[in-house]
Structure 1
């Protein structure tokens, strides 16, 4: 792992270690809208149609969505930067697999994943590191396998740095991006766009949500 990566990975890891319990209590399902659930269901159907290879839930946090994929018949495992989050997920879902890792340097063999899910986890990665991250997605996906990303979005890209959350001191950067920006970076990494969905903020959400579905070419195209 390069020193440049570590400059943002370490504060992100430490921050989520600090807020893991409060974050888990505040987001008990990991999904805040029926549309989010519908898109996860559609993603699971695409994964099952392409075979039985496992899905990596990157930035899996407390493991709620990893467990939801499992309920949909998808073999899934979680990867999270925060050791405390991984411990929380293992305790809540003892039958599933979770381990500490970073999507910026996936320690997984080439062409072995049946899908990648990254819900609100790429939001902590600076723009300069997204192309290499998405290249890892392409490398580890099987031909024809899908990746589903979710992230906060606005008319223009933006950035926010927080030093406090849930009463804890943190050092966390958030980046919001347009679907077009994410799509351009995904296609630059060799992935094909399948669909984009944008929904307006609901309840206490401040920003709109975007979902981008892409796939690695091949697999019977």
Structure 2
């Protein structure tokens, strides 16, 4: 079962180091990489043009950092130093760093929002999924003779033992609205790449 679409800590520097790699390797990204690339580029599109270019000039570099040992593709690129960028822009290093930190904090908040939106989109489009409450998955349940869900349902911590539901299953809503459970997709849906902001920089 794939798990990378779940709520995960936002490692902004990790996203920024993969920026160029997502672009140059766009035709060879794994499904996991596409998930993160979509979140990242959707988030970049919510920045102002000046903010986007400010971060791009520091992180979207031609300095290779890490390659994939299996594909030999360059995945990450090194950033320019604050001193280099401040000198290039004619700014005091302290002022440059303060502006960078402010913009990065803004981008991190945006990524958190976009990740939640993307997870919801994936969940709503999923054809198959399991139901869970916290760390517990619904394993099985019975229906009463009145067509209601019996309260004697079984939960498990092992996601592999969880009951698989289909999109048109009418019992799902009762578990979600009455018991507070949530969907966890088994397979992520297909989605388009969001690369327009990379090539056009909001011109």
- State the TM-score, normalized to the length of structure 2: 0.23
Which is bigger in relative contact order (C-alpha 8 A, separation at least 6)? 2
Higher relative strand content: 1
Higher relative helix content: 2
- State the TM-score, normalized to the length of structure 1: 0.22
Higher Cα Rg, which structure? 2
